[in-house]
Amino acid sequence: MSQEDLRYARQIVLPRIGKQGQALLAEKTVFLAGAGGLGSILCLYLAAAGIGKILLADHDAVDITNLNRQILFGNASLGQPKVLSAKDRLKDLNPSVGVTPIQEEVTAGNIDALIKGADVILDGTDNYAARKILNRASLSHGLPFIFGGVKGFDGMVSVFIPGTTACFECIFLPPTSKEDQKPGIIGPAAGIAASIQAMEAIKLLLNIGQSLENRLVRISGLSMSVSTTTLTSNSNCPACGAK
């Protein structure tokens, strides 16, 4: 058995994946905006699963306040650009995965170029403005958008598929007041939400299982309760309503 087969043996044995599915994952490219609480965990699971290429965008450097939840990094990473530190860690985890570090802030002006070649858009951001940019790019390019959000002890995840489901802006309205730039977050809350996002990405890329499309799952860490809300499109949505 080859080293690659050994690496993915516990995935290949799954009937819904097998060698064919594993080979398909190796051909896929994901775009991930943000290497923070969500993004750092997403990176690790997607690289470990054998996703062919990860386009990782984040303009920040690693700060000590990140380390309670951003387990992609350690003390040795402090002060380093997140995407460069992330590339080293991910290549160590799985050398066969291609990692493209993009040390830029995601904007409406550069998003089209950043997602070129991607099969899915993953949300590792922490604010409405960035998610709006990702949503518009998803609609414009017909790419699935896997949303994740986390605050305090809680997390939420959904999957938006252009032309099939409601979009992010159908469901979430712009904040009426200035967003809290530094909300409290416990690490496992980000871990739970990001793990669900990673699962959804793998399912979409392999076209298996039932995705979270038109559903929003919420996880309350303090009560350890999970609720799922059915989502419907908004005909007056400023992003997709006209379509």
For residue 175, the model assigns a pLDDT of 86
CA dist 143 to 35, 39, 101, Å?
20, 18, 21
Classify residue 241: in a domain, yes or no: no
Burial of 165 (0-12, 13-18, 19+ CB in 10 A): buried
195 touches 45 (CB < 8 A): yes
- Extract the residue ranges of the chain whose pLDDT is less than 70: 178-181, 242-243
Classify residue 153: in a domain, yes or no: yes
Strand (E) or helix (H) holding 33? strand 29-33
For residue 242, the model assigns a pLDDT of 54
Domains in the chain, number:
1
| Whole-number Å distance between alpha carbons of 53 and 78 | 25
pLDDT digits (tens, 9 = 90+) for 59-68: 999 999 999 9
Q: What is the pTM of this model?
A: 0.96
Q: Which domain holds residue 104?
A: 3-230
For residue 208, the model assigns a pLDDT of 98
CB count within 10 Å of CB 185 equals 21
Classify residue 236: in a domain, yes or no: no
Classify residue 240: in a domain, yes or no: no
| Whole-number Å distance between alpha carbons of 42 and 94 | 14
Classify residue 21: in a domain, yes or no: yes
Q: What is the CATH number of the domain that holds 55?
A: 3.40.50.720
CB count within 10 Å of CB 71 equals 16
Classify residue 239: in a domain, yes or no: no
| φ, ψ for residue 148, nearest 5 deg | -140, 140
Classify residue 213: in a domain, yes or no: yes
pLDDT digits (tens, 9 = 90+) for 17-43: 999 999 999 999 999 999 999 999 999
The alpha carbon torsion through 170, 208, 46, 138 (nearest 10 deg) reads: -30
Classify residue 28: in a domain, yes or no: yes
